[in-house]
Amino acid sequence: MKRLALVTLSVVLAAACSRTPEEPATTAIPPAAEPAPATAPTSPPPAAPASTGDANLLGGHHWLLQQAVDAKGQRIEALFARADKPVQLDFNQGRINVSNTCNRLGGGYRLDGSNLIVSDLASTMMACVDKKLMALDQEVSKRLQGTQAAGLTADGSLTLTSTGGDVLTFRGEPTAETRFGGPGEIAFLEIAPESKPCTHPLVPNRQCLQVREVFFDANGLRTGAQEGWQPLYQDISGFTHEEGTRNVVRVKRFVAKNPPADAASVAYVLDMVVESEKVGAKR
């Protein structure tokens, strides 16, 4: 089965100046931090009020839900339906996007002094088998929409406090743009269904993704592809390969400044899965 996503003109034009994936010694992308384990509710550290000057800080980080308590200090269990993937907020040019829920949620936001004001959130229409995960969308929406008192703690966390007394605490993780100091370059990679053994100086018996760059026209139609498959000696941050599945992904490609001698000079970060097809594993 295929899932196709519309490729916009601006993205396609950005991909036109892309380059062939280079062979690094090892991945240049640090592993993502493990989600914080569930603990008994504790009082969050004091937070300084956020202000309109904090918009750049909000947009420069992914915000992962770390703690949520109600007015009585009780943990709000309904917000932790996915222990492995906490609810994540991303702020970008007046838009707030919510991920790691059943559906992706999004809407407008603005900072008014120390208040974060979020408009009604729109949602994709995917159904989830897990009832707790299905209910997560509503639980998140009703707590984010409207006006929240926003604060930034000394440890780099974001706290949102509702008029009803719910306190949500998010820890910030720098975005790739923040880590690499720029917007990166858009490219499209087709990933073969099967990975293959590859020679790696630091990782014995490594399996490498087999990739080739693909190109699209202004209408989003595929116009060509790089000849032959090439091993990718590093991971694509945010992407998990499933053997037997062919994917076309849109990635952001970053040049690492002054990488260590044993690290790659180019890093790849997943932006979107454009196409996915289950073709079956080889026997």
76-116 pLDDT, tens digit each: 999 999 888 999 999 998 999 999 999 999 999 999 989 99
What CA–CA distance (Å, rounded) separates 264 from 57?
27
Higher pLDDT, 181 or 118: 118
Residue where one domain finishes, among candidates 122, 140, 174? 174
User: What single-letter DSSP state applies at residue 182?
Assistant: S
191 and 142 assigned to the same domain: no
User: What single-letter DSSP state applies at residue 32?
Assistant: P
Residue where one domain finishes, among candidates 141, 174, 207? 174
78 and 95 assigned to the same domain: yes
Average pLDDT (166-180) is 93
219: pLDDT confidence band, cut at 50, 70 and 90? confident
Higher pLDDT, 80 or 25: 80
What CA–CA distance (Å, rounded) separates 45 from 18?
45
Residue where one domain finishes, among candidates 152, 174, 196? 174
Q: Domain span at residue 74?
A: 61-174
149 and 69 assigned to the same domain: yes
104 and 208 assigned to the same domain: no
106 and 150 assigned to the same domain: yes
The answer as to whether 151 is a domain residue is: yes
Q: Report yes or no on whether pTM surpasses 0.85.
A: no
Query: What six digits make up the tokens of 233?
Result: 């000696």
The answer as to whether 74 is a domain residue is: yes
65 and 169 assigned to the same domain: yes
What CA–CA distance (Å, rounded) separates 280 from 283?
9
Count of domains observed in the chain = 2
Assign 35 to helix, strand or coil.
coil
The answer as to whether 46 is a domain residue is: no
The answer as to whether 47 is a domain residue is: no
Residue 69 belongs to domain with CATH number? 2.40.128.270
